[in-house]
Amino acid sequence: NAGVTQTPKFQVLKTGQSMTLQCAQDMNHNSMYWYRQDPGMGLRLIYYSASEGTTDKGEVPNGYNVSRLNKREFSLRLESAAPSQTSVYFCASSGQSYTEAFFGQGTRLTVV
């Protein structure tokens, strides 16, 4: 099992460009999450999906959109990247309620 796989690992964008971060899990998990990690700010929830077909806003959703394409895949889209979106992005997934969340390896995004 690969667990949670994120692509790409690194990305540099120019302000105003768009891109989609991909995330897939092979653990048959219902819930999937997108977080961003900035120094001193911890892991802030952007969006999450409690089950296939549902998505909900987290703490910092502005400037992002998500798609739960199927049970395995949960993508994060930046429509018009801004320097404030420079961060490390983590995708995670968890199974039944109140169980461990597994993280992908992260995407380091720089917006110039």
Partner 1 sequence: GENVEQHPSTLSVQEGDSAVIKCTYSDSASNYFPWYKQELGKRPQLIIDIRSNVGEKKDQRIAVTLNKTAKHFSLHITETQPEDSAVYFCAAMGGNNRLAFGKGNQVVVIP
Provide the binding-site residues for partner 1, judged by CB under 8 A.
30-31, 33, 35, 40-45, 48, 50, 56, 58-59, 90, 92, 94, 97-101, 103-106
String of DSSP letters for 41-72: TEEEEEEEESSTT--EE-S--TTEEEEE-SSS
Query: E strands within 1-112?
Result: 4-7, 10-13, 19-25, 31-38, 42-49, 56-57, 64-68, 74-78, 87-94, 101-103, 107-111
Q: How far is the CB of 45 from partner 1 (least distance, A)?
A: 6
Please state the closest distance from residue 6 (CB atom) to partner 1, in A. Answer: 9
Residue closer to partner 1 (CB basis): 99 or 110: 99
Closer residue to partner 1, CB minimum distance, 18 or 99: 99
CB of 69 to partner 1, least distance (A): 19
Residue 28 or 100 having the CB closest to partner 1 = 100
Minimum distance, C-beta of residue 58 to partner 1, in the bound complex (Å): 7
8 Å CB contact between 29 and 91: no
Tokens standing for residue 35: 């977080």
Chain-centre distance of CA 11, in angstroms?
14
Minimum CB distance to partner 1 smaller for 19 or for 103: 103
